[in-house]
Amino acid sequence: MTNERWGMVIDLHRCVGCGGCDISCKTENNVTEGFHWSNHIIETRGKFPDVNYRYIPTLCNHCEDAPCVANCPTTAMHKSDEGLTLHDPDLCIGCAACMVSCPYGAIYRNDEKPHSRWRDEEVAIAGCTSSGKEVAEKSGEEIPHYNAERAETYKGIRPKGIIEKCTMCDHRVAKGKDPWCVESCPSGARIFGDLNDPASAPRKALAKHPPRVLQKEKGTDPHVFYIRDY
């Protein structure tokens, strides 16, 4: 048992809404088309000229009291000692109880074999461009941008039939690195660290600015906090 409690603070004032976190997550975690481990919500409020715009980056909240963990019939969805909500593909039966239980819509299921794009034999311009299948074959991997590091703590590519979700880059965190969305953020809007350590960056940010969470009323005790506004 460790003392760490990993969490993330997203500074909405620093966030420029570029979507870089969404894209970097896909490449780091070999996430298939249509799945969004890192996602965002855009909302507007009011009427011109008195309008307000909000861009809210979202991801699995790694809730302390995670309903996906409580409702999983096989304990495939579980809490790590450091408070991360992780998924064991070997135990998953693909019942989707976690999906319907998640108030944040952060979990996806592979109904088909993922990354179909890289098995597609169709070419855009015959005799000129390569098909997805040809590119994948040349790369020697199932997908050309395959990140082998991902497979250190999770299935590198999750197979058909099981669910998948954000792990807060536990494979990187285990090596003392920040999640890739944190490192990739060009404006430094994402702050990752140990919520149990008063000297950590997220704790300092939370002490400085009043924190908010998504759907507080659900009582899930999220580990992703939001500070300030756009």
Partner 1 sequence: MEPEVVFNIHPGPYWDWRIAVDLFLGGAGVGAFLFAIGLHAAFRGRYRRITQTAAWLAPILVVGGLIFLLAKLGRPMHLWVTFTSFAPTSPLWWGGIFQTLFVIGSIWYALQWRNPEANPKRRRVGWMLVPIAVIVGAYHGLLLAAVTARPLWNTGPTVVAALLAFTTTGIAAVMLTHLVRMKIGGRLVEGEHLDHFLDDMKPVRFILVGTLAAQLGTFFLWWLSLRLGNMQDQQALAAAEDAVGTMFWTLGIGIGLLLPLVLASFAWWRGESLHRSMQVRSIFATSLLILVGGYFFRLAVVLGGQAVLPVPSLS
Residues at the contact surface with partner 1, assessed by CB under 8 A: 36, 39-46, 52, 54, 56, 58, 67, 69-76, 91-97, 99-105, 107-111, 160-163, 212-219, 226
* Rounded Cα–Cα distance for residues 1 and 76 (Å): 19
Bridge-partner residues for 7, per DSSP?
A: 193
Residue with smaller CB distance to partner 1, 16 or 174: 16
Residue with smaller CB distance to partner 1, 45 or 125: 45
Chain center to CA of 97: 19
- Candidates 140, 153, 203; CA nearest to 7 is 203
* Rounded Cα–Cα distance for residues 68 and 98 (Å): 4
Residue with smaller CB distance to partner 1, 79 or 133: 79
Beta-carbon contacts of 67 under 8 Å, excluding residues fewer than 6 positions away, are 101, 102, 103, 218, 220
Residue with smaller CB distance to partner 1, 186 or 219: 219
**Secondary structure element (H or E) that encloses residue 172, with its range:** helix 170-173
State the nearest-atom distance from the C-beta of 161 to partner 1, in Å.
3
Residue with smaller CB distance to partner 1, 103 or 156: 103
State the nearest-atom distance from the C-beta of 55 to partner 1, in Å.
9
Exposure of 206 in the CB half-sphere (CA atoms within 13 A): 23
Residue 148 vs residues 7, 56, 144, 178: alpha-carbon distances, Å:
25, 30, 11, 17
Three-state DSSP class for residue 160: coil
